[in-house]
C-alpha cells in the first residue's frame, strides 16, 4: 500500500455529484489508495466538476486553475468533464485524465493507467451507468445524513437545462436495490435519508412501465431510519397514491421539494416544462389540502428570455398566494447546447438581478412568519455540528433540508448525529433558536 499515490477529491456541484464523489472515494479506499482531505499533500486531486450554469462552471474552472498553478496532477470528473472534455484536455496540460459522468466507477483502473504515463480520456458519449448498493461508498456528509439516489438521468428536455445531455436518459434502480442500500445506511447510524434523482416523482417509469414512488416509499417505511425526505418532486407526479404513501408512512417527512421554475403559462411553455401552465390549476392547493402539515420548498428562474414585467408580476403574486415555506431564486443562465441558448428577447442581467431581489424580498416575510409560528413549540432536531468555542449545537428540524434551508441553533448537550427534542425560543427569516428539553 505504501507505494500507491495519495488521492484527494475536490467536490463541486449538487448532491447527485456528491454521491459520485463518495463512490470514487469508496472504490479508491477499497483498492488500497491512501485518500487525503488535504489537496496539498495529495499526489493526485480528482476535481468532480459541475456544469449546470455559468457560475458553477466558473467555480470549477477557478478550482482547476488553482490546482494547476500549484503543479498538481489533476483528474477531472463530473458534468464539466462530460461537457467540455476536449477543451479541458487542450487548456490544462496538468489534467492527466478526464472522466465522464457515466464512467466514475472505473476510477481505480483510470488511476492505474495514469500511473503508467498514459493521459486517459474515459467519457461515454451516452451515459448508461447507475451505481447500486454493491458499489463501495465513503460518505462525506455529517454522520446523521445520507443522500440516496433512486434514479439517474432525465427524459425531459427543458429548454434551459443541459443535464440530460450530460447524464443521459432516466434509468431507475430497482426498489429492492434502493431498500438494500437504505438498510446499509441505517446500520451505519444514518437518521435522515434524502431521496434524489432528476425527477423523483418519475421514479420507476423506465424500469416498471409506470412511476413507482408510492411503492418505493412504502418499502422504505419498513427501514429503521426516522426521517426520509423526497427531493425534486414534480407536482403532477404527486398523485393521490403518492400522497397517501407520504401520509401513511410515519418516517416519510411531509416535506416536498417542488422545482416549479415559474408560474406563468407563457414562460413555462417557452421553458418546455413538462406540465406547462398546470401549476395554476389548483395543484398546490390540492397538495396542501391532502397534506395539511406539508412543508413546501420550490425554486424559480427569473429572466428567462421573453419574460416581461407582466410575466414576472404573475410570479410575484403566485409566491404571495401560495406562501411556500422555502424559496430559492436563480437568474437565467444561457447554456450552449440547450434550446434556450439562442432564444430572442434576452433579459438584461441588471433586470434579472433586480427581479431576483424583488422575489426574495417578497418571500422573506412569508418565511419569517412561518418560522415564528414555531416559537414555543417543541420539535425534533437532528444535531449535526458543534461550535467548539461556544459549545453551541447546530442542527435542523424536519422542516429544513441540508444546505438549502435554515438551521436550528441549540443550547444544551447532545451527541452529534442524534435527534433530540428542542423547545423553540426565537426565530428569524431563515433560522430557528432553541434549547434541548
Binding site for [4Fe-4S] cluster: residue ranges? 14, 50, 79, 154, 158, 161
Distance (Å, rounded) from C-alpha 262 to C-alpha 275?
11
What is the C-alpha end-to-end distance of the chain, expressed in Å? 49
Query: Hey, which residues does 296 pair with through a beta bridge?
Result: 256
Contacts of 414 (CB under 8 A, 6+ apart): 383, 393, 420, 436
Distance (Å, rounded) from C-alpha 211 to C-alpha 170?
12
Distance (Å, rounded) from C-alpha 131 to C-alpha 151?
9
Distance (Å, rounded) from C-alpha 185 to C-alpha 181?
6
Q: How many CB atoms lie within 10 A of CB 120?
A: 20
CA angle 10, 76, 153 (to 5 degrees): 90
**C-alpha 47: how far from its chain's center?**
18
Angle between helices 309-322 and 349-372 (to 10 degrees): 10
Q: Which cell numbers hold the place of 299?
A: 425554486
Cβ distance 380 to 370 under 8 Å?
A: no
**Closest CA relative to residue 191, chosen from 415, 426, 349:** 415
CA angle 124, 125, 127 (to 5 degrees): 60
- What is the 3-class SS of 190-258, one letter each residue? CCEEEEECCCHHHCCHHHHCCCCHHHHHHHHCCCCCCEEEECCCCHHHCCHHHHHHHHHCCCEEEEEEE
Residues within the annotated binding site? 14, 50, 79, 154, 158, 161
Strand, helix or coil at 382? Answer: strand
Q: Tell me how far CA of residue 310 lies from CA of 139, 264, 265, 313, 314, in angstroms.
A: 46, 9, 12, 5, 6
Amino acid at each position: 500500500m505504501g507505494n500507491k499515490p495519495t488521492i484527494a477529491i475536490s467536490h463541486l456541484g449538487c448532491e447527485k455529484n456528491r454521491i459520485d464523489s463518495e463512490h470514487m472515494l469508496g472504490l479508491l479506499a477499497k483498492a488500497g489508495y491512501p485518500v487525503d482531505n488535504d489537496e496539498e499533500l495529495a499526489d493526485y486531486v480528482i476535481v468532480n466538476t459541475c456544469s449546470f450554469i455559468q457560475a458553477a462552471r466558473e467555480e470549477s474552472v477557478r478550482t482547476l486553475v488553482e490546482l494547476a498553478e500549484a503543479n498538481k496532477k489533476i483528474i477531472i470528473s463530473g458534468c464539466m468533464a462530460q461537457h467540455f472534455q476536449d477543451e479541458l484536455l487542450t487548456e490544462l496540460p496538468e489534467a492527466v485524465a478526464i472522466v465522464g459522468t457515466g464512467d466514475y466507477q472505473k476510477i481505480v483502473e483510470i488511476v492505474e493507467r495514469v500511473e503508467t504515463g498514459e493521459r486517459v480520456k474515459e467519457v461515454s458519449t451516452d451515459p448508461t451507468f447507475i451505481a447500486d448498493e454493491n458499489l463501495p461508498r465513503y460518505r462525506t456528509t455529517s454522520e446523521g445524513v445520507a443522500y440516496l439516489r433512486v434514479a439517474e438521468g432525465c427524459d425531459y428536455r427543458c429548454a434551459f437545462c443541459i443535464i440530460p445531455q450530460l447524464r443521459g436518459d432516466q434509468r431507475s434502480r430497482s426498489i429492492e436495490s434502493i431498500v438494500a442500500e437504505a438498510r446499509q445506511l441505517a446500520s451505519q447510524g444514518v437518521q435522515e435519508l434524502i431521496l434524489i434523482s432528476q425527477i423523483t416523482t418519475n421514479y420507476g417509469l423506465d424500469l416498471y412501465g409506470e412511476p413507482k414512488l408510492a411503492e418505493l416509499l412504502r418499502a422504505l417505511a419498513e427501514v429503521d431510519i426516522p426521517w426520509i425526505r423526497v427531493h425534486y418532486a414534480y407536482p403532477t407526479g404527486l398523485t393521490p397514491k403518492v400522497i397517501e404513501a407520504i401520509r401513511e408512512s410515519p418516517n416519510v417527512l411531509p416535506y416536498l421539494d417542488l422545482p416549479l421554475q415559474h408560474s406563468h403559462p407563457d414562460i413555462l411553455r417557452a421553458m418546455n416544462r413538462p406540465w406547462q401552465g398546470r401549476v395554476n390549476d389548483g395543484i398546490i392547493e390540492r397538495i396542501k389540502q391532502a397534506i395539511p402539515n406539508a412543508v413546501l420548498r420550490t425554486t424559480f428562474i427569473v429572466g428567462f428570455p421573453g419574460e416581461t414585467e407582466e410575466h414576472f408580476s404573475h410570479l410575484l403574486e403566485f409566491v404571495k398566494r401560495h406562501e411556500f415555506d422555502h424559496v430559492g431564486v436563480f437568474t437565467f443562465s444561457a447554456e450552449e447546447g440547450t434550446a434556450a441558448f439562442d432564444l430572442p428577447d434576452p433579459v438584461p442581467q441588471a433586470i434579472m438581478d433586480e427581479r431576483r431581489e424583488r422575489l426574495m424580498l417578497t418571500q422573506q416575510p412569508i418565511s419569517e412568519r412561518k418560522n415564528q409560528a414555531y416559537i414555543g413549540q417543541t420539535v425534533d432536531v437532528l444535531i449535526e455540528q458543534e461550535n467548539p468555542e461556544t459549545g453551541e449545537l447546530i442542527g435542523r428540524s424536519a422542516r429544513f433540508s441540508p444546505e438549502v434551508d435554515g438551521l436550528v441553533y441549540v443550547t444544551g448537550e447532545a451527541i452529534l448525529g442524534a435527534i433530540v427534542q428542542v423547545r423553540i425560543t426565537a426565530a428569524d427569516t431563515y433560522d430557528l433558536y432553541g434549547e434541548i428539553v
